[in-house]
Amino acid sequence: MDCKLQVVGIQSQLEMGSVAVNRSVHEFQDESLFSPELVTQKIQPSHIAECGSVSGGFQAGGSERWRRDVYRSIKTVVFSNKLNLLMPFGPLAILLHQLHGHNGWVFFLSLLGITPLAERLGYATEQLAFYTGPTVGGLLNATFGNATELIIAIYALKSRMIRVVQLSLLGSILSNMLLVLGCAFFCGGLVFYQKEQVFNKATAIVNSGLLLMAVMGLLFPAVLHYTHTEVHYGKSELALSRFSSCVMLVVYAAYLFFQLRSQKDLYIPIEEEGSQNGESTYDNDDETPEISKWESVIWLGIMTAWISILSEYLVDAIEGASHAWNIPIAFIGVILLPIVGNAAEHASAIMFAMKDKLDISLGVAIGSSTQISMFAIPFCVVVGWMMGQPMDLNFQLFETAALFITVIVVAFFLQEGTSNYFKGLMLILCYVIVAASFFVHEDPMEDKQLKP
């Protein structure tokens, strides 16, 4: 390659010398750089042979460089996080399922194996967002941020475990709004204990309105069921759920357009206003991408495929784990599964809160709850419709009441636009109460809807 550059450079210099008519012939001859002897010397056969050896070395060097890049990418994604020490539990769960079939341990090991995969999925999404910008990055987070919950839900729908789908999605909303947001407020408040952290109330109000709309969509089918006022018994409730789901998907699409296009000046720079240091989500002075764009895409595909494989074993072992450990299905669906699915959101929300970027933490926690309630739940209803499964929005009275009270409590906490560690502690303790309630709650629909 260098030899080719030398010849091209000599030719260009000869052309430049021939065009310089304003210079004298004597002056041109004195230029030893353009003498024919020097040109002949520079393209001697030894140099040509040297070029051949260099080109062969370039091919070998390219292969070596490719291997170095692969090693660096694996080291960055797989070996840079201590949570990835849990990754071997995934293959161990598959092996245990094939050899022994003990559903309790298969469920537990699958749960441990999916946890680092969910966190790395969020990491790969964040890395890709560096190259796409905030608008497309927001859509990527909307797509992959809750990918784990959606994958588990679709496998449960395929296995006709409709109740597990409802409980796991409900649990994701409760976990994001109480546990994730509470930990973010608490950790951020401890770091900045001498002041109250602030965030933009406009985003919080819009998200609170969307969450209340989602509660309304879940409330009416439940009320219709328990008041026995259906026009067509057993059909009106399902028809209303499917119609409401389509409406909710349209509202969520309009919300994305409103947030990313129509009012993007109101939403994108929120982090700059909140942190008061001129940084944004995807363009920070102290943050640069650690892997390339195509590496991010490849790792997204790998993590999604591996989560899909483990989710199948996880869903198949849920009922057996409930009987083996004497744990209610409701507690597994509402508490245990969402903790795994929200691993990425949990880590990101706490990290940004400790950097005084509370608007981003709010977007991660409340934004994820909005995505699940206005997109994931109605999407699963539509997918169940296409599969011929009677997935509806009747989450039963106890679950709907828990969601309604949670949305009201969080809305009150967000109305001032400030946070501190005490507010975070109260949200965490509220989640503890919810978890205890589901631990002692006997789901009346478990036998009817778990495997209809």
In this predicted structure, what is the pLDDT of residue 355? 83
Nearest-5° angle of CA 449, CA 394, CA 219? Answer: 160
CA distance 310 to 337: 13
In this predicted structure, what is the pLDDT of residue 28? 38
In this predicted structure, what is the pLDDT of residue 13? 45
The H-or-E segment that residue 259 falls in is none
Q: 30-55 in b/e burial notation, b at 16+ Cβ within 10 A? A: eeeebeeeeeeeeeeeeeeeebeeee
Q: 433-446 in b/e burial notation, b at 16+ Cβ within 10 A? A: ebbeebeebebebb
CA distance 7 to 265: 54
Q: What's the predicted TM-score (pTM) here?
A: 0.75
DSSP 86: G
CA distance 414 to 426: 13
| Tens of each residue's pLDDT in the chain, 452 residues | 444 444 444 444 434 444 443 444 344 344 443 343 433 444 444 444 444 444 455 455 677 888 888 888 888 888 888 888 888 999 999 998 888 777 788 888 988 888 888 888 878 887 887 887 655 665 676 567 678 788 888 888 988 889 889 999 999 999 999 999 999 999 999 998 888 888 888 878 888 999 999 999 999 999 888 888 888 777 888 999 999 999 999 999 998 888 777 655 554 444 444 444 444 444 444 568 888 888 888 998 898 888 888 888 888 888 888 888 888 888 988 998 888 777 767 777 888 888 888 887 888 888 888 989 999 999 999 999 999 888 999 998 999 999 999 999 999 999 888 888 999 999 999 999 999 999 988 877 665 554 44
Taking residue 79's Cβ as centre, other Cβ atoms within 10 Å add up to 10
In this predicted structure, what is the pLDDT of residue 287? 67
In this predicted structure, what is the pLDDT of residue 142? 57
CA atoms within 13 A on the CB side of 6: 15
Contacts of residue 73, defined as CB under 8 A and 6 or more positions apart, other chains included, come to: 291, 295, 299
In Å, what is the CA distance from 173 to each residue of 36, 54, 342, 373? 79, 60, 10, 7
The candidate with the shortest Cα–Cα distance to 211, out of 178, 257, 164, is 178
Taking residue 416's Cβ as centre, other Cβ atoms within 10 Å add up to 13
What phi and psi values does residue 198 have, to the nearest 5 degrees?
Answer: -120, 155
Tokens (6 digits) for 109: 């090991």
